[in-house]
Amino acid sequence: MSRESDTSSMSAAEADPAAMMALIEELFPICRSITGGGVRRTLSILQRHIPLEVHEVPSGTTILDWTVPREWNIRGAHIIDQDGARIVDFAASNLHVVQYSRPIDAVMPLSELRPHLHSLPDEPDWIPYRTSYYNENWGFCLTHHQLSSLADGLYRVVIDSDLAPGHLSYGELLIPGESEDTVLFSCHICHPSLANDNLSGIGVATMLARHIQTLRRRYSYRFLFIPGTIGSLTWLARNEDKVQSITHGLVLSCLGDAGGVTYKQSRRGDTAIDRIVANVLHHEKVPHRIRSFVPYGYDERQYCSPGFDLPVGCLMRTPNGEYPEYHSSADNLSLLRSESLAHSLAVLRRIVAVIEGDAVYRSCNQKGEPQLGRRGLYAAMGGQRSADYDQMALLWVLNLADGRHSLLDMVERAGVPFATLRAAADALLAVDLLEPAPVRADTGVV
């Protein structure tokens, strides 16, 4: 049994940060929302990198407890003061308009306009990001400095948008493997010019898909590029027959900031993906935190709803809502660190290597240790202080290869990186001291 484990070192080079950053920079200016041309343009750019299938679901389609909303498109928007000055302009930042704002062209006094203006008093230089998807409304976002400087008087307010029957668009890529057991990677594509929240996940997911295409694969891999909430609900509702083949999954977001890695566990908390991510992060150098599931955050909320309860966690660096720039114009390209993006991708490649490399084996010599020496696997001279490290790895695998422990179980018990025991298992397989156990490798259950 040969195996192409991804045990290369996590250099920035391997992760190709320049290509990732170039992709993110190209996507940054586009005004994405949960529907509309911005999403289509985004998916179309991604198709230059990976063979994404784009799905279009008509407005009005019933999706579980929800309905696909009207499609929203916007061409421009601005506020002009009574001196004729264009004081707020969508052309300057697509965050200036509350997403899903209905069209308007009206003149009104400040007192009437004021409830439609949103700012961040604590961060007076930043424009907030606001949406009103399911509650028809209109509004502008602006810096608190701008808001504070508005004089009484009349303002002309223009939003040149459409809210009309159309489609919800999402992208999907299935990379088939030997088994129909599937690893899901999901990221949201519904935020306009926000870099860490949205684009970092898109960029890393795209490059991860490219990497996985190059691997020999036991598992199949499914990548979803979807609008948040309604997109994951749509995929789940349309693919109920595929849901139960998801054996591992990760929602990807906020993967480019300077912070350490945060892993939010699946609802069940002890699934294979939870254990694998914990193991990979434990042997990483970068600081990390592991958090229990909470029913708030990204699309893991839907994947982990009780009726699906999938083994899907969420991999981030600084989580949503916990960095000051979150959901504001300050979550821009300057927030991203090339080395963070590269490291996030490298961690994901390690995770994939563990998913692919995990298996349950049986030692061919259950009773007593086999004689490693006559297979060239033992130090020739005895009595030295201790077995060297690889020696220990061989002994761990032999001792725990009882057909009930997976390699993941073994590394958790031995406290070593997965690759160490994977290499030992390969060495033992090569001399017929080990054989695959007749069980499903991903569960370890006979």
Residues forming contacts to its own copies in the complex (CB under 8 A) are 64-66, 98-99, 118, 128-135, 137, 229, 232-233, 236-237, 267, 292, 294-296, 301-302, 304-309, 321, 326-327, 363, 365-371, 373-374, 380-387, 391-392, 395-396, 398-402, 413-414
Rounded CA gap, 42 and 58, in Å?
19
CB-based contact 243:222 (threshold 8 Å): no
According to DSSP, residue 227 is labeled -
CB of 425 to its own copies, least distance (A): 14
C-beta separation of 285 from 347 below 8 A: no
CB of 292 to its own copies, least distance (A): 8
Measured from the CB of residue 418, what is the shortest distance to its own copies in angstroms? 18
Beta carbons within 8 Å of 289's beta carbon, 6+ residues apart: 260, 261, 262, 263
Closer of 125 and 388 to its own copies (Cβ): 388
- Using alpha carbons, list the distances in angstroms from residue 187 to 98, 124, 210, 323: 22, 30, 15, 19
**CA 365 – CA 434 distance, rounded (Å):** 8
Nearer to its own copies, 42 or 320 (CB): 320
Least distance to its own copies from the beta carbon of 197, Å?
Answer: 10
- Which of 84, 368 has the CB closer to its own copies? 368
In this structure, how many other beta carbons lie within 10 angstroms of the beta carbon of residue 43? Answer: 21
Q: Token pair of 333, please? A: 């390209």
The token pair at 8 is 């290369």
Between 28 and 66, CB nearer to its own copies: 66
Name the minimum Å distance from CB 270 to its own copies.
14
**Residue closer to its own copies (CB basis): 38 or 177:** 38
Cβ 344 to its own copies shortest distance, Å: 23
| Cα separation values, 305 from 35, 96, 248, 273, 409, Å | 23, 33, 15, 17, 27
Measured from the CB of residue 386, what is the shortest distance to its own copies in angstroms? 5
Which CB, 219 or 303, lies closer to its own copies?
303
CB of 243 to its own copies, least distance (A): 9
Can you name the residues that pair with 434 across neighbouring β-strands? 363
In terms of CB distance, is 145 or 413 closer to its own copies? Answer: 413
Q: How far is the CB of 431 from its own copies (least distance, A)?
A: 12
Minimum CB distance to its own copies smaller for 206 or for 232:
232
**Closest approach of Cβ 183 to its own copies, in Å?**
21
Closer CB to its own copies, 91 or 134, in the complex = 134
Element (H, E) at 240: helix 240-243
One DSSP character per residue, 164-210 reads ES-EEEEEEEEE--SSS-EEEEEEE---SS-IIIIIIHHHHHHHHHH
Contact at 8 Å (CB) between 167 and 43? no
Residue 98: partners with Cβ closer than 8 Å, 6 or more residues away = 116, 118, 130, 131, 132, 137, 138, 139, 140, 141
Cβ 119 to its own copies, closest distance in Å?
Answer: 12
Q: What does 95-114 look like in DSSP terms, one character per residue?
A: GGB-BTBPPEEEEEEHHHHG
Q: Which is nearer to its own copies, 158 or 304 (CB)?
A: 304
**Among residues 134 and 149, whose Cβ is nearest to its own copies?**
134
β-strand 167-175 against 220-226: which pairing, if any? Answer: antiparallel
Query: 343-364 in b/e burial notation, b at 16+ Cβ within 10 A?
Result: bbbbbbbbbbbbbbbbbbbbbe
